[in-house]
Chains A and B, each alone.
Chain A
Amino acid sequence: MKRYSAFAVAREALRYHKGWGRAWRAPEPKARYDVIIVGAGGHGLATAYYLGKNFGITNVAILEKGWLGGGNTGRNTTIIRSNYLQDSSAAIFEKARSLYEDLSQDLNYNVMFSPRGCLMLAQTQSEVRGYERTAHANALQGVETEWVGPERVKELLPIINLDGPRYPVLGGLWQARAGTARHDAVAWGYARACSDMGMDIIQNCEVTGVMRAGGKVTGVSTTRGEIGCDKLGMVVAGHSGVLADLAGFRLPIESVALQALVSEPVKPLIDIVVMANTVHGYMSQSDKGELVIGGGTDSFNNYSQRGSYHHIEHTLAALIETFPIISRIKMLRQWGGIVDMTGDRSPILSKTPVEGIFVNCGWGTGGFKAIPGSGWAFAELMARGQSPLAEEFSLDRFTEGRFIDESVAAGVAH
């Protein structure tokens, strides 16, 4: 693989950019791999990457039914933060956030990590108490966050209307090291690095069956034939229930649509990420100038990758109340992704009832920020059979009542 560098850009500029090679190979599937990962989203690719990098396991295939990064990884609003309430969440999300800081150097691929800061607005008394509690919890966890009053909010966000008619802004939870990254680049960067280690990324290859013998996985059947493996990692987000069904077990997961939208590009208006959970809207501005906006999930099970129109109306109405300046901006496009929701709104990184099958899912509306940490922990779980970061996120917690409840913590969304 050719390394990307300022020198390479200059060299290619002089020869009409004819020397760039493919970023990753497009191999035919082999008959058998040590490890198969289903799903070439960020979590699947990061898992493969750290299997190779941290454990030297490189006889790996990543099977993707569509194109890599075409699932939720290419559909999210790219918010990266780690200000969660529970210790086990803070640990894995903070691991991910800190890996993001030098991911571009690690992968030799610019993922455009932009630690511009994230502000979660408190617009009710209970949110004030909730965020103050989170700030204290974060202090104990070693995650740098800070409760800020309305004056500081106005400084960080000059376009805000602090005394909105319904929900005046009472302050906020500020994480200066939070931010955004380019979502496609995260998938592409990991893919390029995996391919470089000799792993096979096989696109347009849907897993249609899971082969087992004596309670143990032996391989998968796919639209491109049968492929054997010793270990299987299912990392398919909204399709986790479908994959589990193929392997003969059920998961505590429901799939629903989550939408996002972007506006026409405008001059710089907001240079941080802002989230308003009470009114259900959040917003940042892309480098191209588009406002990137997201809201709530649909309430019913859905695999259609479209959401209901009234959610957009609801989100925009809420944002316009808090940011009246955006009321005349036109929206350019809207899309949806199918997110995998668990009962306690925390992910699952776990062994399963079938020996050799591991599952990484349940990231729901907020897993983009977790990609490096999730891949790190899940690779360890798959390679060693246990991982300190993943331990609490096992499937047993639903039997044992050991929930990691992030839905009561004010950080409901993304």
Chain B
Amino acid sequence: MLILTCPCCGVSAEETEFAAGGEAHITRFGPGASDEEFRDYLFARENPKGVHFERWRHAYGCGKWFHAARCTVTLEVFGTYSAQTLEPPLAIRDAIAARRPGWTWGAAE
């Protein structure tokens, strides 16, 4: 059972209170994009075995979207943070690096 803390309202709850929204920090391509860029935006995924940045919605709570950093092998949650950002904040990256020595944000991309 996965337990997440919603950074919007501060509630910690089981995964059944949340809805998973897939990979976070995907660049949205708009008009003028090439077919390949639009394909990547819609379908291509990192799908890493390890550190994953992902979107969640506090569906049965405050209803807001947020981001989480989580390990897809151990299901450890490194932290959750606001969705109003293009990349994970430093505190989250440090929390991951502390648990996964050698990991860096660029390397995951």
Contact = CB atoms under 8 A, between A and B. Distances in A.
Nearest to B14: A310
Contacts of A28: none
B19 A253 contact: no
Given A302-B75, A308-B15, A250 B39 contact: no
Most buried by B among A251, A299, A300, A304: A300
Interface residues of A, number: 24
Interface of B: 1-2, 14-16, 19-20, 22-23, 35-36, 39-40, 42-49, 52, 54, 70, 72-75
Contacts of B1: 308-310
Interface of A: 239, 241-242, 245, 250-255, 299-304, 308-310, 342-343, 398-400
A250 B35 contact: no
5 contacts: A241-B49, A300-B2, A308-B1, A342-B43, A399-B36
A270 B96 CA distance: 50
Contacts of A398: 39, 42-44
Contacts of A300: 2, 15, 20, 54, 70
A251 B16 contact: no
Nearest to A344: B43
Nearest to B68: A300
Nearest to B45: A254
Given A304-B74, A399-B39, A253 B2 contact: no
B54 A242 contact: no
Contacts of A239: 49
B36 A302 contact: no
A354 to B, nearest CB: 16
B45 A252 contact: yes
> Is the contact region of chain A dominated by helix, strand, or loop, or is it mixed?
mixed
A369 to B, nearest CB: 24
Count chain A CB atoms within 10 A of each CB in B1, B36, B54, B75 and give the residue with the most.
Answer: B75
Contacts of B45: 241, 250-254
Nearest to A299: B20
Given A302-B75, A308-B15, A400-B35, A241 B48 contact: yes
Given A303-B72, A304-B73, A343 B20 contact: no
Given A250-B40, A399-B39, A304 B46 contact: no
A225 to B, nearest CB: 23
B16 A241 contact: no
A399 B35 contact: yes
A254 B49 contact: no
Contacts of A299: 19-20
Given A299-B19, A309-B1, A399-B36, A343 B73 contact: no
Contacts of A304: 72-75
